[in-house]
């Protein structure tokens, strides 16, 4: 089985880290993976996205045109990727940064007030982990425990004090199931 996922948002929202974490978790689970980042020249505030392909077999191409899932961290990302999610797929939307409803009826839509949840946890940088938790709960390509293990194994030691907040953010996101 092969699963294609796109994460998209502004630079500084943790778009690329979210994709990397998915990739590490899948690798640690013995899966085949690709991760391709794409971002504008700005350090923060520009557009950023990444594609992650997770497979049980060798991956023929890392290019993704109709992903099974998309995490849209802001309105421009929703506008760009809503129409690309394959029918029956999952669209996780950061409702905190979006002022419109999703128009698709043929996909699972998960609206999450990720910024507010992250602020409740005391760190707005946890927004991406909230959205990743929601994705994993609605597209069980890898277990949530594998994401937690990848965080502990691949996060630089100097950031390990943030692990409990990251775990809580993942769990809070995972509580959001598609309507």
Number of domains in the chain: 1
Q: What is the pLDDT of residue 16?
A: 92
Q: Residue 111: inside a domain, yes or no?
A: yes
Residues of the chain with pLDDT under 70: 40-46, 179
Q: What is the CATH number of the domain that holds 41?
A: 3.40.920.10
Q: What is the pLDDT of residue 42?
A: 55
Q: What is the pLDDT of residue 44?
A: 61
Q: Residue 152: inside a domain, yes or no?
A: yes
Q: Residue 81: inside a domain, yes or no?
A: yes
Q: Residue 104: inside a domain, yes or no?
A: yes
Q: What is the pLDDT of residue 179?
A: 64
Q: What is the pLDDT of residue 154?
A: 87
135, 5 contact by CB (below 8 A) = yes
What is the span of the domain harbouring residue 86?
2-174
Q: Residue 179: inside a domain, yes or no?
A: no
Q: Residue 12: inside a domain, yes or no?
A: yes
Q: What is the pLDDT of residue 60?
A: 87
Q: What is the pLDDT of residue 63?
A: 86
Q: Residue 63: inside a domain, yes or no?
A: yes
Q: Residue 33: inside a domain, yes or no?
A: yes
């Amino acid at each position: 089985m092969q699963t294609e996922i796109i994460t998209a948002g502004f630079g500084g929202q943790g778009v690329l880290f979210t994709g990397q974490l998915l990739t590490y978790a899948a690798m640690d689970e013995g899966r085949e993976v690709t991760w391709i980042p794409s971002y504008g020249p700005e350090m923060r505030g520009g557009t950023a996205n990444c594609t992650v392909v997770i497979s049980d077999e060798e991956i023929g191409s890392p290019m993704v045109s109709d992903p099974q899932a998309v995490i849209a961290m802001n309105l421009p990302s929703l506008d760009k990727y809503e129409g690309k999610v394959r029918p029956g797929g999952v669209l996780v939307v950061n409702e905190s940064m979006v002022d419109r409803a999703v128009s698709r009826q043929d996909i699972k839509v998960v609206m999450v007030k990720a910024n507010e949840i992250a602020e409740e946890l005391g760190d707005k940088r946890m927004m991406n982990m909230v959205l990743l938790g929601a994705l994993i709960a609605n597209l069980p390509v890898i277990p949530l425990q594998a994401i937690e293990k990848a965080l502990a194994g691949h996060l630089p030691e100097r950031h390990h004090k943030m692990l409990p907040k990251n775990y809580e953010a993942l769990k809070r996101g995972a509580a959001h199931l598609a309507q």
